């Protein structure tokens, strides 16, 4: 009787193993999906001058909409104007600008982290555009030079503002995460 129970147990486990293996292998078709027609991969962006221009326009839109250089109430120019009493603050004490106005700004303020993170996201996008345009054989030399110049300018502008705001900062000229994850702050004069 004991032997029969052991054999049944082994058969049940073997069947369960094959069912699980089949289920895991058969899930590949559910996971592999095609890219939507409205989206481009990184490589295809630089196969056409129009899509490369659109990538640069997206960087400009991100700078306009968030981060250090945005013209909104969360932008650096507005908040530093409030901080230096050039502008008046009439908002609620729950707004992040209140801490600039009241001169009680702490490094732990979420807006400070947003400036840092959004700026380095924009620098990454600029570096990705630079690397993509530089290696693309499809973009004319004239357009390539223009896009490379714009990317270098935007990267320099963002590093300039970050260095003036934070002091020593990491200078990031590439997109390779293995190298950028270990970069240290550099003196302002080197940046």
Instruction: Report the Cα 183 to chain-centroid distance in Å.
Output: 17
- Nearest CA-CA partner of 91 in 73, 111, 118: 73
Question: How much is the average pLDDT of 79-98?
Answer: 84
Do 50 and 84 belong together in one domain? Answer: yes
Do 121 and 95 belong together in one domain? Answer: yes
Do 96 and 147 belong together in one domain? Answer: yes
pLDDT for 8 beyond 80: no
Give start and end residues of each alpha helix (H) in the chain: 2-26, 28-31, 42-45, 49-65, 76-83, 97-101, 110-134, 141-166, 177-180
Do 117 and 135 belong together in one domain? Answer: yes
- Yes or no: say if 71 and 61 are a contact pair by the CB < 8 Å rule: no
Confidence (pLDDT) at 174: 92
Do 17 and 72 belong together in one domain? Answer: no
Mean pLDDT of the chain: 84
Domain boundaries, position 14: 1-33
**Residues contacting 47, CB < 8 A, separation 6+:** 136, 138
Question: How much is the average pLDDT of 51-75?
Answer: 90
Highest-scoring range by mean pLDDT, 31-35, 78-82, 101-105, 183-187 = 183-187
Do 148 and 101 belong together in one domain? Answer: yes
Question: How much is the average pLDDT of 85-91?
Answer: 84
Q: Is residue 171 part of a domain?
A: yes
Highest-scoring range by mean pLDDT, 7-11, 79-83, 101-105, 122-126 = 122-126
Do 73 and 11 belong together in one domain? Answer: no
- Yes or no: say if 135 and 46 are a contact pair by the CB < 8 Å rule: yes
Q: Is residue 185 part of a domain?
A: no
Confidence (pLDDT) at 88: 85
Vertex 134 angle, CA 121 and 169, to 5°: 35
- Confidence band (pLDDT; 50, 70, 90) for 30? low
Confidence (pLDDT) at 128: 93
Name residue, tokens 């990317």: 151
Do 83 and 136 belong together in one domain? Answer: yes
C-alpha atoms less than 13 angstroms from C-alpha of 178 in its C-beta half-sphere: 0
pLDDT for 43 beyond 70: no
Confidence (pLDDT) at 40: 52
pTM over 0.85: no
Confidence (pLDDT) at 48: 84
Confidence (pLDDT) at 100: 85
Total tally of structural domains belonging to the chain: 2
Q: Is residue 191 part of a domain?
A: no
Residue 174's domain is classified under what CATH number? Answer: 1.25.40.390
Q: Is residue 190 part of a domain?
A: no
Give 134-183 pLDDT, tens digit per residue. Answer: 999 999 999 999 999 999 999 999 999 999 988 999 999 999 988 988 99
- Give the residue with greater pLDDT, 147 vs 110: 147
Q: Is residue 8 part of a domain?
A: yes
Question: How much is the average pLDDT of 89-97?
Answer: 83
Task: Output 15-18 pairs: Cβ under 8 A, ≥24 positions apart.
Answer: none
CA distances for 162 relative to 67, 71, 93, 94, 158, angstroms: 11, 17, 26, 26, 6
How is residue 35 annotated by DSSP?
P
């Amino acid at each position: 009787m004991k032997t029969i129970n052991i054999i049944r147990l082994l058969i049940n486990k073997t069947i369960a193993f094959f069912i699980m293996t089949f289920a895991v292998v058969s899930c590949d078709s559910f996971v592999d999906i095609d890219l939507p027609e409205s989206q481009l991969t990184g490589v295809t962006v630089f196969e056409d001058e129009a899509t490369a221009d659109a990538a640069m326009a997206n960087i400009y839109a991100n700078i306009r909409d968030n981060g250090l250089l945005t013209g909104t109430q969360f932008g650096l120019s507005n908040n530093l104007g409030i901080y230096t009493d050039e502008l008046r603050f009439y908002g609620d004490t729950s707004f992040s600008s209140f801490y600039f106005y009241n001169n009680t700004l702490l490094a732990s303020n979420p807006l400070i982290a947003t400036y840092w993170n959004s700026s380095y996201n924009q620098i990454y996008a600029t570096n990705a555009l630079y690397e993509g345009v530089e290696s693309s054989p499809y973009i004319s030399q004239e357009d390539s030079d223009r896009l490379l110049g714009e990317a270098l300018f935007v990267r320099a502008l963002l590093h300039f503002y970050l260095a003036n705001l934070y002091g020593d900062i990491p200078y990031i000229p590439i997109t390779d995460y293995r190298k950028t994850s270990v970069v240290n702050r550099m003196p302002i004069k080197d940046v």
